[in-house]
Amino acid sequence: MLVRTGWERHLADPERYIGRMDFPGVAVDAAQLLVSRGVVGVGIDTLGVDPGAATDFPVHARVTLPAGVWHLEGLVN
Protein backbone atom coordinates (compact mmCIF):
# COMPACT_ATOMS: atom_id res chain seq x y z
CA MET A 1 0.00 0.00 0.00
CA LEU A 2 1.42 3.39 -0.96
CA VAL A 3 0.21 6.58 0.71
CA ARG A 4 0.83 9.90 -0.99
CA THR A 5 0.03 12.76 1.37
CA GLY A 6 1.64 15.48 -0.73
CA TRP A 7 4.26 16.10 1.96
CA GLU A 8 7.02 15.89 -0.64
CA ARG A 9 6.11 19.45 -1.66
CA HIS A 10 8.13 20.50 1.41
CA LEU A 11 11.24 18.56 0.39
CA ALA A 12 13.10 21.71 -0.74
CA ASP A 13 12.56 23.19 2.73
CA PRO A 14 14.38 20.90 5.21
CA GLU A 15 13.13 22.92 8.18
CA ARG A 16 9.56 22.19 7.12
CA TYR A 17 10.07 18.62 5.83
CA ILE A 18 12.11 17.21 8.73
CA GLY A 19 12.45 20.05 11.23
CA ARG A 20 8.86 20.07 12.45
CA MET A 21 7.00 17.06 13.67
CA ASP A 22 3.65 18.04 12.20
CA PHE A 23 3.48 15.87 9.09
CA PRO A 24 0.43 13.74 8.22
CA GLY A 25 0.30 10.00 8.72
CA VAL A 26 -1.97 6.97 8.78
CA ALA A 27 -4.77 6.88 11.38
CA VAL A 28 -4.95 3.91 13.74
CA ASP A 29 -8.35 2.87 12.36
CA ALA A 30 -7.02 2.97 8.81
CA ALA A 31 -3.96 0.94 9.79
CA GLN A 32 -6.17 -1.66 11.48
CA LEU A 33 -8.26 -1.90 8.31
CA LEU A 34 -5.13 -2.37 6.18
CA VAL A 35 -3.89 -5.14 8.48
CA SER A 36 -7.29 -6.86 8.44
CA ARG A 37 -7.20 -6.82 4.63
CA GLY A 38 -3.81 -8.48 4.51
CA VAL A 39 -1.60 -5.57 3.48
CA VAL A 40 2.05 -6.62 3.85
CA GLY A 41 3.69 -3.20 3.57
CA VAL A 42 3.03 0.53 3.77
CA GLY A 43 5.02 3.17 1.91
CA ILE A 44 4.54 6.85 2.67
CA ASP A 45 6.05 10.18 1.61
CA THR A 46 6.52 11.46 5.18
CA LEU A 47 9.09 10.63 7.86
CA GLY A 48 6.90 7.90 9.32
CA VAL A 49 3.57 6.12 9.10
CA ASP A 50 2.33 7.81 12.27
CA PRO A 51 1.41 11.49 12.18
CA GLY A 52 4.38 13.58 13.29
CA ALA A 53 2.66 14.76 16.45
CA ALA A 54 2.12 11.18 17.67
CA THR A 55 4.70 10.76 20.42
CA ASP A 56 3.67 7.19 21.27
CA PHE A 57 3.68 5.94 17.65
CA PRO A 58 0.37 4.05 17.88
CA VAL A 59 0.32 2.82 14.27
CA HIS A 60 3.98 1.84 14.14
CA ALA A 61 4.29 0.19 17.55
CA ARG A 62 0.83 -1.23 18.16
CA VAL A 63 -0.73 -2.00 14.78
CA THR A 64 1.51 -2.49 11.76
CA LEU A 65 4.85 -3.78 13.08
CA PRO A 66 3.27 -6.32 15.47
CA ALA A 67 1.34 -7.62 12.44
CA GLY A 68 4.56 -7.98 10.43
CA VAL A 69 3.75 -5.08 8.09
CA TRP A 70 6.90 -3.41 6.80
CA HIS A 71 7.32 0.35 6.28
CA LEU A 72 8.99 2.43 3.58
CA GLU A 73 9.17 6.02 4.74
CA GLY A 74 10.30 9.22 3.08
CA LEU A 75 9.26 8.14 -0.42
CA VAL A 76 9.36 11.11 -2.80
CA ASN A 77 9.07 11.59 -6.54
DSSP string, 37-67: TT--EEEESSS-SS-TT-TT-HHIIIIIGGG
User: From CA 31, how far away is CA 49, in angstroms rounded?
Assistant: 9
pTM above 0.95, yes or no: no
Interval 36-53: pLDDT, tens: 999 999 999 999 999 999
Query: 24's torsion region: left (phi>0), alpha (psi -120 to 50) or beta?
Result: beta
Output the CA torsion 8→14→19→21 (10° steps). Answer: 0
The pLDDT > 70 percentage for the chain reads 100
Give the pLDDT band of residue 20 (cuts 50, 70, 90). confident
